[in-house]
A and B are shown apart, each in its own frame.
Chain A
Amino acid sequence: MKSLREHIQRDFSKNVIIALSVLLIALLIFPKFSSYTMLNLLTRIFVISVFAMSYDILRGYMGFINLGHAVYFGGGAYVAGILYNKLGTTIPVFILSIAVVVLYSVICALVMGKLSFKKGTSVFAAAMLTLALAEVVRNIAESWRDVTNGTDGLIFKVPSILSNRIFFYYFSLIFLIVMFIILRKFILSPTGRVIIAIRENEQRAEFLGFRIENYKLIAILVSGVSAGLAGLVFGTFNRFANTELLSITYSTNALLYTLIGGTGTLYGGIVGSIVVNVFQNMLLNLRSIHPIFERWLIFLGILYIAVILFMPKGIVGTLRHFIENRKVKSDNEKSSKTEKAPGE
């Protein structure tokens, strides 16, 4: 398989690399000129982007709809809160919570994967199973008041350095970049290619000699751990965790981010997260202008419907399709010119 550098060269033209560099510099100096509100919005976008990318591994690359994906995200936030409350707000506790979140996510992914990826289970039945499992976890969180504070939610303090908004902004930006590189590397690996092959046709992958259940398990493990870590950072950012983070609302949010941005692209998760969060923020601000914006969810729903109707591949997917078509067209033109040349 190709090296990451070769893939980056293939995927990113010089202009795109320049644009991304400018964007990165802009993001680095952003806190100097920004209000805390904007800083918080961007921090939220960075973290939610990781959650969306983790979902894209399953939905976009493997073709699996996980309606219980919030179990990792919410679980990550709860693990952070519980450990801070029980063991104190220190950096070693934060590091310990990373290890615990990884362990928690691995266990959840193994249970979810083993049950959902059994041969002969339909996509619909598997999706329902994931939903049921997540509901079980959410109910446990609601009932276990001593630890989770039930439906009231868990309020907690975080290590002082992590409560600094500017520090956390940079921390989240680095978290996003690192997770993007890891997930991209995973998708470009031979295992990642098999996962794409499974999405396209399980039977074809099987007659090439791949035991698909194992590859699906690897995908849900990677996706689950990424979502769990995103939840940990999200919980640390909000200093709060409630059972809504474990609910289907958050699972479908992840699905919508990837649908709007474009599935099977990784960047799509980031773009979807930006579009939804910025649009949501705008609608919330418009509430003071006209009372209709109190019903901001309706407008968000219209955005979802519009994107799915007019851009079924999502924003990045549509853009990529357009660029690929143009490239194939120009390649064909070039080759037809070359074929004509000898006779001319």
Chain B
Amino acid sequence: MASILKVENLNSYIGQYTILQGVDIEVKKGEAIAILGRNGAGKSTLLKTIMGLVNTRSGSILLGEDSLVGIPTYDIANKGIGYVPEDYGVFDYLTIAENLKLAIRNDTKDGDDRIAKVYDIFPDLRKASERMARTLSGGQRQMLSISRALVNDNKIILIDEPSKGLAPVVIETLAVALKEISKESTILLVEQNFSLACAIASRYYIINEGRTVVNGKIEDLIQDTQLQATHLGI
């Protein structure tokens, strides 16, 4: 199957600190890939580097045939990448409906149908569609953030720690929704919550100290308690 996103020997830095120092990942069309690792391993930085929010020192990032290195963030987004940051990234002073409409890119022709579809996935958002985002709960904000990535026909969606700071009951709802979304979209998911990552992803990469150290099928990782203990501290 054709690869949607291919990252090879990626090195990136923030200020004088090198964060990623040799990351290799490949995501194929329709896959849901989990990026796992301990706190500070460089998982979120990987997504930010792909989005052009963190500077690349060396290595390559290919979206299909297009290189993403050195191009501005807005161009990267317009090439077909949806990004769900860990702080949700919603606009507090816009309503839910406005947040969603704002996210529709010019090349998306069926934006309204897509909004109706995300309202079906997250009915809570439909009910509160005219409410300002600042009045929403953490779970609703996360739903809105994910929904924004779904209103375009993105080639891949990068999701950064969707369960962070959410109550277990909300995480369960989110897991069901993300599983549903993964049936139709290609997802690169950074997640600390191991069970949530296992529920959604089919393959995984483990990052340790800025390097990809292990990868494989998620079923194998579930069985391998030794590997979990070594790299994830479970």
Contacts and interface: CB of A to CB of B under 8 A. Distances in A.
A206 B85 CA distance: 13
Interface stretch (B128-136, B193-201, B223-231): B128-136
A196 B73 contact: no
A331 B92 CA distance: 18
Interface string B81-104: 001010001011110001001110
A266 B103 CA distance: 25
B135 A324 contact: yes
Interface stretch (A70-78, A87-95, A197-205): A197-205
A322 interface: no
B17 interface: no
A209 B78 contact: yes
Contacts of A264: 93
A211 B93 CA distance: 20
Interface in A1-29: 1, 10
Contacts of A193: 94, 98, 101-102
Contacts of A212: 74
B9 to A, nearest CB: 24
A210 B103 CA distance: 9
Most B CB contacts (10 A, CB to CB) among A190, A200, A328, A331 go to A200
Interface in B141-198: 148
B69 to A, nearest CB: 16
Contacts of A194: 102
Nearest to A204: B89
B53 interface: yes
A341 interface: no
A207 interface: yes
Interface residues of B, number: 25
A207 B84 CA distance: 9
A97 B54 CA distance: 49
Contacts of A210: 74
Given A10-B130, A324-B132, A324-B135, A209 B105 contact: yes
Contacts of B53: 203, 207
B77 interface: yes
A132 B39 CA distance: 46
Nearest to B127: A335
B112 to A, nearest CB: 11
Contacts of B102: 190, 193-194, 197, 208
Contacts of A199: 93
B91 A328 contact: no
A208 B77 CA distance: 6
B218 interface: no
Interface of B: 51, 53, 72-74, 76-78, 83, 85, 89, 91-94, 98, 101-103, 105, 130-132, 135, 148
> 8 smallest A-B Cβ distances: which pairs?
A209-B77, A209-B78, A206-B73, A204-B89, A197-B91, A200-B91, A207-B83, A211-B74
21 contacts: A1-B98, A10-B130, A193-B98, A197-B91, A200-B92, A201-B91, A203-B53, A204-B89, A206-B74, A207-B51, A207-B73, A207-B74, A207-B77, A207-B83, A207-B89, A208-B103, A209-B78, A212-B74, A324-B132, A324-B135, A331-B131
Given A207-B53, A208-B102, A324-B135, 11 more contacts: A190-B102, A193-B101, A196-B94, A200-B93, A201-B91, A203-B53, A203-B73, A206-B74, A207-B77, A208-B77, A209-B77
